[in-house]
A and B are shown apart, each in its own frame.
Chain A
Amino acid sequence: MTDQHVRPRSTSLSRRAFLSRFGLAGAGAVFASRLLEGPAHAQQEGTFQLRAPEPNPKYGGTLRFGVHNAPAHFDVHQSGTVGNIGPQGPMYDCLIRRDPRDGQTIIPDLAWKWEISPDGRTYTFFLRRGVKFHDGADFTAEDVKATYQRIISPPKGVVIPRSPLFSAVSEVAVLDPHRIQFKLKEPRPRAFMLGAFASGWNIIVRKETLEKNDWNLRNVMAYPGTGPFRHVSRKDKEVWVMEKNPTYWNKGLPYLDRVEVYHLPPFSPELGSALLAGKIDYGRLLDPVTWRKAKESSNMTAREFNQSVIQAVWVNNKRKPFGDPKVRRAMHLALDKHVLVDVVRDVAPMMVGGFVYPFHELSTPPEELGKRLGYQKDPKPAVQEARKLMAAAGHAGGLKNVDFLVRDAATYKLWAVAIQSMLKEALNIETKLRTVQISQWFEEAAAGNFDLGIAAIVSALMDPSDYFTAWYGKDGPQNYSSWTNEQFHTLARQIERELDDGKRKAMVRQAEQILEEDPPLLPVAYEKIYDSYYNYVKGQDPTRFFGIYDVVRWDTVWLAK
């Protein structure tokens, strides 16, 4: 099986050129498996060029982008926050990437072509020639190997949250300086693996950089990348300034001369006021009030898109009576999710969802989900069912002194009070709120010191096989409820290996059903992201983005002013 995404050049073809290319393509198809390097590859390699979607983009100018707090360290691979990927993303490339014009399609990046073997166990990437790191060093397959070996098997002292995405990879082999092969010990769905390779986190770093720094880049501020922008200066907790990489491999990109990334706290008045006052051109993670104001403004564009975050209540299965699925399902049904989304509408944008991303193609569609108990706009049938379940579990009279661990943030404090009231009113469950700072929340949750706990967790991919392991897996690092369900775990392993999309979809729906009956957590909402920018910012529309981690390079962006 060959998977290629190479955009044809839009210039007109002469008869001679057409025949010549047709002949080469035919020969390439016949000998593809044998060709190591050849004119067909070289020719195709030259054809791919990313462009802004508009016809006549302008060059020059500085984009001022406001996003998140300063990073805690500089190692993108080891990070899980936009504090890193926001400012550092523009300086690096990946093997393959999500198209910044739609946020979804996987397109070439440092690999101009890739092949997947029919059994789905071998991924071969063909790398660009002549690509240079910002320090002038040549980019080769050895850099890719060093990068991925560290991601797949982090050395001691290095923790990389995306390592599990590549748990099936058994070998990374350099075939030649411009070809690299990943061998899998068992097959994985193509969308899952390609999504993992295209994740914005998996930037390619120079082998020598890793070796020189003992494979840990936490305190290395500006290590060289191959990306469209290169480091100029940085003021801690203020701004990170980058300039155009004049030798960027994608000829014609980037359009901007400079990018200035300002560290402004998410959902803060500071970020909102910086945007509205014109101190920045583009604001990400805006609060709803600022976003609505921007939407009303004729010279600004406001966009919303899906984020890779679930907001939920974890229920400690190790404490009685929360090990009983009936009690957990009753609490799940007692939460009026539409009201919960409304409760925080002026603080953070949210949407209703269940145990899987409500907008993913494998998930139950929202309109179907809306008919299900626990997701209906009228909560009465769900509450009636919840009361029956509590009675069947022997807790018709409710529960007292339930310890409710609340993460100290505006959304969680609002939700905690609403959930406290819903549980009391519907099931006579009396909770005691215990609000703690973020780091303490995760400490307490990991130690199991809670009955209920509200917070949020993220996933790298939209594909269920990523978070079925991390969120709901038996030893999943974010399975704070200590939940287990053998039927689900077996099914999740099958979903992970199934290559047929249709069968996979059916299995995911089956998994959803198990999760509904035996909830590992109580879904509260799914986060959305509010972006806004001045109308003169062109070349990128975030509407179809998934999360804020994959498309942050600004290479197709230009300023119409």
Chain B
Amino acid sequence: MRKYLLRRLLFGLVTLVGVSVIIFVVMRILPGDPLVAMFGIEGFAKLTPADRARIMEELGFSDALPVQYVRWLHDIGLGRLGKSFFRAESVADVILHRGPLSAEIGILSVVISWLVGLPVGIISAFRPNSWSDNVARSLAIVFLAIPGFWLGMLVVLALLFWFHFKAPLVIVHLWQDPWANFQLVIGPAVVLGLSQGAYIARMSRSCLLEVIREDFVRTARAKGLIEGLVVLRHALPNALLPVITVSGILMGFVLGGSVAVEQAFGVPGLGRALVTAVIERDIVVVQNLVLLYGVIFVVINVLVDLSYAWLDPRIRYR
């Protein structure tokens, strides 16, 4: 078990190094100059080449790329996430202030995906090819096909024109005002949750269809158990393993999708901070946020791997 865990962590570390290299290189080869955002168009036009070179040096971007990369990793090692070169905001503060909101959206969307996906999958599996199965499968395809940000914009417009509703414009944490916080997170969480729920529904349906043909399910029925207990006690736990694996991967999709969906809903979470940082070419913020997303993704996957043994005692790690 310990060996397995170490191996998984090592793989995770290699993945993170890969992510860090990619984002570091991408941010430097992307066209565009952060000085335009810093000085405005007029100010940028008046900067001489010497001014530009000096400011880039002050920002630490005139050193050789390997030097910059090692310095970045060194800073992360020391727990220094750096400062945005706009407004001198600390990246750690950005994460602490906006992170809880994005985490809420992520967790809530996974909960919604299970709440929606599992019942739909069960109904579809136990009544295959019925009208309810057909409706469920059609809806699943619809939600898989619709981009989250587009659905988000429709939801925002519908709420505005039908109910005159718009979520709060600033971050309100759960512990500050639960109702205002709920208004902020529920929209993106539902949109993300529905599309992930479609995956869960399809996956749980196919897994259940396999499991309910197994001998132990037939035995359970033969000994006179009611259908609900057959499903909940015997079929479902055995069908859940692949669904959990998918959920881990889906969490990654939720992280990625939240960037666009937060933007569509105007929710000031980490995803939106990332979009703004990309537009402003705020290299320090982009690098650290992308790496943070990478860390979260790797950690979730390791946790999913470890959860297998707990869920299925037959599994042993080597």
Contacts and interface: CB of A to CB of B under 8 A. Distances in A.
Interface residues of A, number: 45
Contacts of A269: 153, 156-157
A157 interface: yes
A458 interface: yes
A276 B33 CA distance: 35
A161 B156 contact: no
B169 A273 contact: no
A124 interface: no
Nearest to A236: B89
Interface stretch (B42-50, B195-203, B302-310): B42-50
Contacts of A163: 46
A79 B43 contact: yes
Interface string A482-509: 0000000000000000000000000000
**What's the dominant secondary structure at chain A's contact region?**
loop
Nearest to A445: B45
A70 B164 CA distance: 26
Nearest to B34: A439
A237 B87 CA distance: 10
A274 interface: yes
**What's the dominant secondary structure at chain B's contact region?**
helix
Given A159-B46, A235-B170, A273-B166, A72 B266 contact: no
Interface stretch (B105-113, B118-126, B210-218, B273-281): B273-281
B170 A457 contact: no
Contacts, number: 129
Interface stretch (A137-145, A277-285, A511-519, A551-559): A277-285
Interface in A216-249: 219, 221, 235-239
A440 B166 contact: no
Interface string A52-80: 00000000000000000111111000111
Contact of A443 (B33, B276, B279): B33
B183 to A, nearest CB: 11
B36 A438 contact: yes
A305 interface: no
Interface string A433-457: 0001111101100100000000001
B45 A446 contact: yes
B191 to A, nearest CB: 15
A442 B43 CA distance: 11
B43 A161 contact: yes
A277 B33 contact: no
A47 B156 CA distance: 51
Given A78-B43, A280-B169, A446-B45, A219 B88 contact: yes
Interface string A342-366: 0000000000000000000000000
A440 to B, nearest CB: 4
Contacts of A74: 87
A72 B37 contact: yes
B35 A478 contact: no
B94 interface: yes
A273 B45 contact: no
Contacts of A239: 169-170
Most buried by A among B97, B165, B171, B266: B266
Given A219-B87, A277-B160, A437-B32, 4 more contacts: A70-B276, A273-B160, A438-B32, A439-B37
15 contacts: A72-B38, A73-B38, A79-B40, A79-B43, A157-B55, A235-B97, A239-B169, A279-B166, A437-B32, A439-B31, A439-B33, A439-B36, A440-B33, A442-B33, A443-B31
Shortest beta-carbon contacts, A-B, top 10: A80-B40, A277-B166, A80-B42, A439-B36, A161-B42, A477-B45, A439-B32, A270-B266, A440-B31, A219-B88
Interface of B: 31-47, 51, 54-55, 86-89, 94, 97, 153, 156-157, 160, 164-166, 168-171, 266, 268, 272-273, 276, 279-281
